[in-house]
Amino acid sequence: MEHGLGRAGRYDRMIRRVLKEEGVPQDLIYLAQAESAYQPQAVSRAGARGIWQFMPYRGEQYDLERSYWVDERSDPEKATRAAARHLRDLYGMFGDWYLVMAAYNSGPLNVSRAVERTGYADFWELQRLKALPKETQNYVPIIIAMALVAKAPALYGVQVDPQKPEAMETVKLDHPVDLHLVADATGGDLDDLKMLNPQ
């Protein structure tokens, strides 16, 4: 929690702005804490990547480019916009934010099947009936717990030293360029360039 909430400072303003622009609740920011602890380079065993842990097919569905040169699932702002749109689409399917979080974790098909099997379109009933995968049964309560801790860290004995967003300028190029060449040409630090361009 402490490391993730520290890193969150780097992305908090941007994530909240994008969630607001896309019309989804601000508290969904805590999915990124649960998914990756706000690490753009995070990669799961299953191949999910980035702050929001997009699988390749889901990233493609939301226009996140993936090629030899780039993987936009690791781009904090583009992936946040894609995640917000995906969450909004899930809300259109389920009409309940707890079910949306469950579907974000295990996929909309798993949640739809659990609802059809049990007749309950309520996360807590599906959890009680163990109708969802075990990880998903725990996922929503974990998000709620993370939100509570993040909003009042001292109350839970959590020390937070939020990182500040990096001061940077954006330069758009017409073609891909290897970051090693950019570092050589500018005299910049390669690790800094990689941190600023995780995609």
From first CA to last CA, the distance across the chain in angstroms is 24
The one catalytic residue among 2, 35, 72, 77: 35
Nearest to 98, CA basis, from 58, 143, 129, 133: 143
CB 74 within 8 A of CB 53: no
CB 127 within 8 A of CB 115: no
Q: Which residues neighbour 12 within 8 Å (Cβ) at sequence distance 6 or greater?
A: 29, 162
Largest distance between two CA atoms of the chain: 62
169 is known as an active-site residue:
no
Q: Which DSSP helix (H) or strand (E) runs through 8?
A: helix 2-21
CB 35 within 8 A of CB 10: no
87 phi, psi to nearest 5 deg: -60, -40
> Is 9 buried (19+), middle (13-18) or exposed (0-12) by CB count in 10 A?
middle
Instruction: For residue 73, give the 3-state DSSP assignment.
Output: helix
The 8-class DSSP code of residue 22 comes to: T
Q: Which residues are catalytic?
A: 35
